[in-house]
Every structure is written in C-alpha cells, then in structure tokens.
Amino acid sequence: MAAAAAAGATPATARKALLTTTATLLSSSLARSRRSLSCSAAAASAAPRIAPQPPDLLRWVQREGGFVHPALRVVDHPEHGLGVSAAAAEGDIPPGDVLIALPGRLPLRLRRPAGAADAVLVQLADQVNKRCRFLLEFEKEVKHKLGTVPLEDHPFCGQDVVAETKIDQNAAVTLNYGCYPNDFFLLDYGFVITSNSYDQVELSYDGTLLDAASMAAGVSSPNFSAPAKWQQDILSPLNLYGEGAILKVSIGGPEIVDGRLLAALRVIIAADPDAVSGHDLKTLMSLKEKAPLGPAVEASALRTVLALCTFALQHFHTKIMEDEAILKGEPPLTTELAVQFRLQKKLLLLDVIQNLSRRIKMLALDKSTV
C-alpha cells in the first residue's frame, strides 16, 4: 500500500493499492497463510490530492468485524505520502504481532447496495479477480488441491498480515508488490518505481533490425534475416523461428539481456556449427557464461545489443534532461506518471549500455593477456 505512496502517488492511486490489498486479504488459502512486510525509508515527493477524503481501509476492516493492530494508522506522512504508519503513542510492534486480519466469513466476491458508504471499494474489489495475479495464482492452487470440492464448500479462512521483524514507531510500512517491471505497476496500480531492478524494455526479434544493429556493431555480412538451416534448428527451440514463434524479447531486468536474444546473437554471429554444437542452450542463453563461443563472437554480440539500446533511445521524442525539466515543473499527475515511466526506461537503457561496455573492455583485456 505504501509502495504507491513511496513512488510519489496520490491518494487516488493509494486508494487503488488499498483496494488491491483488501482483495488480496479476502483471497484465502487452505492454511492461514502469511505475507511479510518491510519498512520503507525511501522519501517521496508530495503530490496534490485528487480525492480529499479517500476510503479508510482500516476502518472498513474493523467495521466488517476484522482486526487491526491498535498501533496502525492511515496517515498522510510528509515524506512517504498516504499510507499505513505505526502510531508513536502505542510504542513498538514486536515481531509476530498480527497487524491486519479479516474474518473468515467474508467471501471473495462482495455485494452491497449501490448507496452504501463502501460502494466504491466493493465495485473495484469485484474487478480484482481480473487484474490481481495473486488471486489468479490462488484460484489455480484451489482448483488443484480441491478439484473435487464445490466452490461454495471451500474452507476459506482469513489471511493475516503479520510483522516478521520489529517495526519502530512512525516507521512507514510497505507491502511488496512483487518483482515486476514498471509496465505492470503503472497499468495495474498507477505508479512507477524509480531504479526498479526488474524493469525492462521490450523489443521485437526482427531480422532487419538485428542486421542493422549488427552492422553498426561491426559485424560483416550478418544473416539474421536469413539464418542457415543449422541456425534455424537452434532458433526454433528458442521460440525465435518457425510457426508459433514468440518474437518479443527484452533488455534489462536481472538478466540484463534476454537469454533467448543473447543465444540467438551468439549463434548467428558465430556462423560456425562445430563451435556452437559443443554448448547447450542454457550455456548460450546465460550472460554469466564468459564468452562460450570465444571473445570475438562475444564482443560482437554485446556490441549488437549496445546498438539495439541506441536505436531504442533514438525512438524517444525527448531527451533525459528534457524529462527531468518537465518533472521539476510540477506537471499534472497523468503527465508526471508518463514522463517518469519513459525516463526510467531511458535510464535503464543507459545502465545496460554501461554494463555491457565494461564487459566488452574486460574481453579486450583478456584477449590481450592471452
């Protein structure tokens, strides 16, 4: 919930996060499962309020017969924005204390009169099944473990949010939304995380584009558009060739370079079936494997990725300094989110360029040492 606030969100997006949290709490598991929280010390810039009186999740939980730790409050923190905070007057919260618990009688789908005070919460909670990945995974688990039990007879029980570590007074409490790119956070929750290590830039595995990128990287006579038969046989299990191929690849995230893209670059640039045949796909897809097909092939493959990053940066209509200037001017919320989103993509591409440039220099040093 405070993740939205920590990203500079307004009460409107915080309210959306509250609703998602409510639906996650309503979705139950066979045992009383727990979800850990962490304290957030990240500062966020204050944003103007859209809704002067956003729905109070904690009051709603209490009204429904649930439990809320007496030290928790929904507050508008000057640094972290709207979120859950531990009240100073109540002291520290020791590990193991239950923070929020909903009664097991609450169903996954709620129905209330249209004029009820929590009508907005209920309407949006009904839509969570379509958007919340946690509920989708939960539904699959229920069908697997209780396949022969009718849905109305499932033994749903409430899900608790428990403090796994000591929470200091006035500490901001953050729900972890998961390891996802900013596309997911923006579309589903309405905020963008800065310096998101799981953010990615998606590209299309296009032969013409890769030919141009590899030529810019100094590769002579690239054949991404027309791979040889033995290369096709390797690209097919990578789902980059043939019927049903999935041509969307990515740059960034924990892998830095999509493993399928990296393997394809190495195989096409190598142009030597004997050298490639001695390695499995797992090796060819891993950037941790140091030049499996030799330093020359590796350097050309990484330079091709650098060219792809440069092409991607050129497709943006603004430069990084222009985006930063827009954000300093306090634009409307929608403009701010859009600019933050594209700015993070540009910074991600620059980080990848710096990372791969260091790797290319190391390859040159290793080659000169040999």
Q: What is the pLDDT along the chain (370 residues), one digit of tens a residue?
A: 444 334 444 545 544 554 554 445 444 333 333 434 444 333 344 455 555 566 677 777 778 778 888 888 777 766 666 677 776 556 678 887 888 887 665 554 445 555 555 555 555 555 544 455 666 676 677 667 666 766 566 555 545 677 888 989 888 887 778 899 999 999 888 899 999 999 999 999 999 999 999 999 988 888 999 999 999 999 999 999 998 899 999 999 999 999 999 999 999 999 889 999 989 999 999 998 889 999 999 999 999 999 999 999 999 999 999 999 999 998 999 999 999 999 999 999 999 999 999 999 999 877 655 4
Residue 105, burial from CB neighbour count under 10 angstroms (0-12, 13-18, 19+):
exposed
Domain 200-369: top CATH class? alpha beta
Using an 8 Å Cβ cutoff, are 18 and 190 in contact? no
- The ranges assigned to domains in the chain are 2-178, 200-369
Tokens of 241: 């060739």
Spell out the alpha helix ranges (H) of 164-257: 182-189, 207-216, 229-235
DSSP 51: S
